[in-house]
Amino acid sequence: MGKPTGFMDYKREDAPAFSVKERITNYNEFHEPLSKKDQATQGARCMDCGVPFCQAGMQIGGGFSGCPLNNLIPEWNDLIFKGGWDKAYHRLKVTNNFPEFTSRVCPALCEKACTCGANGDAVTVRANEYGIIENAYEEGLADAKIPHTRTGKKIAIIGSGPSGLAAADQLNQRGHSVTVFERSDRVGGLLMYGIPNMKLEKHIIDRKVDIMKEEGVEFKTGVNVGKDVSAADILKEYDRVILACGASNPRDIKVPGREANGIYFAVDFLKSTTKALLDNDLQDGTYISAKGKNVMVIGGGDTGNDCVGTSIRHGAKSVLQLEMMPKLPDERADNNPWPEWPRVCKTDYGQEEAIEVFGNDPRVYQTTVKEFKADKKGNLKQAVLVKLTPQIDKKTGRMIMKEVAGSEYTVDVDLVLIAAGFLGSENYVTKAFGVETNERTNVATAQGKHQTTVNNVFVTGDMHRGQSLVVWAIREGRDVAREVDESLMGYTNL
């Protein structure tokens, strides 16, 4: 695949990022794509490794390694090296409905499993994918493909996040009539309001949704199924229903003073910024602003990082990010060999920007909030923090984080953003359809299946597996589409 000696002949070159000084002045994507010539050279670095872990998508060492979609990565790397950009697009679309999304927001599990990365720099798989899909749009290859026949079967999909969109795309191309219900004012779910504009500009979503509309998918926005429309009416009108509502129930921080003004869930903060940006270019003050404030972000994952980057763009006075767990090592430990997912410390774009703007890494490890303090008007003014230390629980044998006695200290804070993860699906939807949930409040199904405990009702995405990645949501959407199609037709070719 590619050039046999390419990984030795050429160095890894990824799409360069704009300077921090430049990119924090706006909310646009901030990487400059490589030219087609340079991207083809990067494709040449994909060696004939024999066992392409990049596309394997399998459990290794207790974690997941490689692409969950089983993208045919060596094939399209070889094709772009040889100039076959159109064929590369068709091979990419065999497994991935939305490379325009994954090439922007996926953490690139493929690259972490790349054989070149075992003793050097991995192939730029994500950037190559970006080059393929954007070239396809430029050349008209990604235009609408309208199904020639219709089956007469009607499917309702509740939720327009990546899993719902993937299911809709698959089932529509099969010839079924698909209607997607979305409670927000715009299509995209997590993609639209959960991911900041600088990681995924929203016209990219609209571009694909417009194509899906042309292909026959119907979208109904501003419709909250379970409240505006009854589940009974949906079940009566449609042959099958797919629940794709996400794991949108945020985990709270329950400590004294939580009721103070100025404490928000991260998802509400991020959504308010994106919505105001799209509605009025942040001019009417309808969003939760961090301007001039001492901001504290609770949580160290992708959402926490997005809060850091967004706060800096608002013009925050300072940003502090709390992480309960110890700092991961900067390099792989001996017990974390390739091709396992590397459990190493990652400094993402938000932290990079904070380091340059404020002069220090915003993250404080092994620390949590013990109390919030408000002024006489009820507005947040301080937080009492406490250090944590890892200990083995004698009853369960599991590691837990325990408070360090006497380690409390107080910091000034005006705005707190809780990015502590999600607890699962919102129960008004599950109750409306009468589906059973498990101990994590995800919708219950048999192992490896998407059929719920209610006849003709299926589930997919985060609502099924819990909070996860966009690439996993797409895989879930493709899998549930296959299961639904088979239940309708008696067989499936999806």
How far is the C-alpha of 456 from the C-alpha of 285, rounded, in Å? 44
* Residue 347: strand, helix, or coil: coil
pLDDT of residue 63: 83
Closest CA to 111 of 121, 95, 96, 122: 122
Closest CA to 93 of 138, 42, 145: 145
> What is the maximal distance between C-alpha atoms in the chain?
71
Give the CA angle between residues 429, 474, 458 to the nearest 5°. Answer: 35
How far from the centroid of its chain's Cα atoms is residue 323's Cα? 20
> What are the residues facing 180 on neighbouring strands?
157, 219
Strand order of the β-sheet with 457-459 is 218-221, 177-182, 154-158, 240-243, 457-459
pLDDT of residue 455: 97
Q: What is the length of the chain? A: 494
Residue 416 host element (H or E): strand 415-418
| pTM score, whole prediction | 0.96
How far is the C-alpha of 238 from the C-alpha of 242, rounded, in Å? 10
How is the chain split into domains, by residue range? 6-139, 154-248+423-489, 263-418
| Residue 279, amino acid | D
How far is the C-alpha of 494 from the C-alpha of 485, rounded, in Å? 8
Do 75 and 82 form a contact (C-beta atoms < 8 A)?
A: no
Report how far apart, in Å, the C-alpha atoms of 265 and of each of 34, 153, 183, 310, 365 are.
Answer: 37, 40, 19, 14, 20
Report CA torsion sign: 479, 480, 482, 486.
Answer: positive
Where the chain has pLDDT below 70, the residues are: 1-2
**Does 263-418 match 154-248+423-489 at the fold level?**
yes
How far is the C-alpha of 29 from the C-alpha of 160, rounded, in Å? 23
pLDDT of residue 177: 98
Do 437 and 444 form a contact (C-beta atoms < 8 A)?
A: yes
Judging by DSSP bridges, how do beta strands 415-418 and 263-265 pair with one another?
parallel
| Residue 320, amino acid | L
For the segment(s) 6-139, the CATH number from 1.10.10.10, 3.40.50.720, 3.10.330.10, 1.10.1060.10 is 1.10.1060.10
Q: What is the DSSP string of 169-229?
A: HHHHHHT-EEEEEESSSSTTTIIIIIS-TTTS-HHHHHHHHHHHHHHT-EEEES--BTTTB
E strands, 290-379, in order: 294-298, 318-323, 363-365, 367-374
Helices (H), 327-403: 349-358
Report how far apart, in Å, the C-alpha atoms of 286 and of each of 150, 183, 283 are.
Answer: 44, 19, 8
The token pair that represents 344 in the structure block: 């190493």
pLDDT of residue 2: 65
> What are the residues facing 65 on neighbouring strands?
58
How far is the C-alpha of 142 from the C-alpha of 136, rounded, in Å? 5
Closest CA to 154 of 235, 214, 243: 235
Asked if CATH classification 3.40.605.10 holds for the domain at 154-248+423-489, the reply, yes or no, is no
Domain spanning 263-418 has what CATH number? Answer: 3.50.50.60
